[in-house]
Amino acid sequence: MPSPNLNLSFVEFLMFFFIFVEKFSMKLQGKDESGNQIEVEVTPSGSMGLLAMGYRGIIIWRQARMAAGKPNLCDPEVKLVIENPIKRKTKNENE
């Protein structure tokens, strides 16, 4: 049985629900299988699910680490810069 502890619940979350990130908050909002609005809190430890989200997940994770007073182990000299982001519609938004 491979990777029994892999955060599969998060995978399923990614599969079925739209992940809404607003102002890089430390919480993810979405809907569960029943359509109920849910909110997932991000811990400073992060998760494979956050890595799999790509840059959005990493930004959220970094914010959570910062809020918890954790040092920046990646590169303390760089700051978050998102210049002129192009608002692209995701598949879910199109729907």
Partner 1 sequence: MKTNKRKVLILGWDAADWNVIMPLMDAGKMPALRKIVEGGVIGNIATLDPPLSPMLWTSIATGKRADKHGILGFVEPDVNQGGVRNVNSTSRTTRAFWNILHHEGYNQNIVGWWPSHPVEKINGTMVSNFYQRAGNKPGQAWKIPVNSIHPHTLAKNLAYIRVHPAELSDQHILPFVPNALKIDQENEASLESLTKIIADTATVHSTATYLMDNTEWDITAVYFDGIDHFSHGYMKFRAPKMPQIEETKFELYKDVVDGGYIFHDMMLETYLSMIDEDTYVIICSDHGFHSGILRPQILPKLAAAPAMEHNPLGMVCFYGPNIKKDERVYGASLLDITPTLLTILGLPVGNDMDGKVLLDIFEKLPEINYIASWDNVEGDFAEHPPHMKEDTGDSAEALQQLIELGYIEDPGEDKTKAMERAIGEQQYNLSRVYANASDIKKSIEILEKLVITAPTDIRYNTDLIAAYLLTGNTTKARHCFDVLNALPETDETKLFVNLDLLKAKILRGEHKFLAAEETLRDMLKRPNSSVGTLKELGTLYYSLANFSQSIVAFERILKVDPNNLTANYGLAKIYLINLDYEKAADFALNTIGITYFVPNAHFVLGEALYNLNLYEDALTAFEISLSMAPNFLKARMRAVEILEKHIANKEKLENHKRILKTMMKGKITIVSGLPRSGTSMMMQMLTAGGMDALTDYTRQPDSNNPKGYFEYEPVKLSAKDNSWVGEAEGKVVKVISQLLYFLPNDFEYRVIFMRRDISEILRSQQIMLGKDPSVYPTAVASVFQKELLKVEFWIKEHPNVSIKYVDYSTVISNPVGTAEEVNEFLNNQLDISTMIGAIDPTLYRNKTQPS
Cα–Cα dist 44/26, whole Å: 10
Q: Which amino acid is at 31?
A: K
Radius of gyration, CA atoms only, the chain: 15
Q: Choose which of 22, 34, 36, 91 interacts with partner 1 (CB under 8 A).
A: 91
Q: Of the candidates 28, 40, 53, 64, which one interacts with partner 1 according to CB under 8 A?
A: 53
Q: Is there binding between residue 6 and partner 1 (CB under 8 A)?
A: yes
**According to the binding rule CB under 8 A, does residue 22 interact with partner 1?**
no
Q: How far is the CB of 73 from partner 1 (least distance, A)?
A: 4
> Least distance in Å: CB of 70 to partner 1?
9
Q: What is the rounded distance in angstroms from the CA atom of residue 23 to the CA atom of residue 12?
A: 24
In sequence order, the β-bridge partners of residue 31 are 37
What SS3 class is residue 26? coil
Binding of residue 51 to partner 1 (CB under 8 A): yes
CA 35 and chain centroid, separation: 20
Binding region for partner 1 (CB under 8 A): 1-8, 10-12, 14-15, 19, 43-49, 51-59, 62, 65, 71-86, 88-92, 94
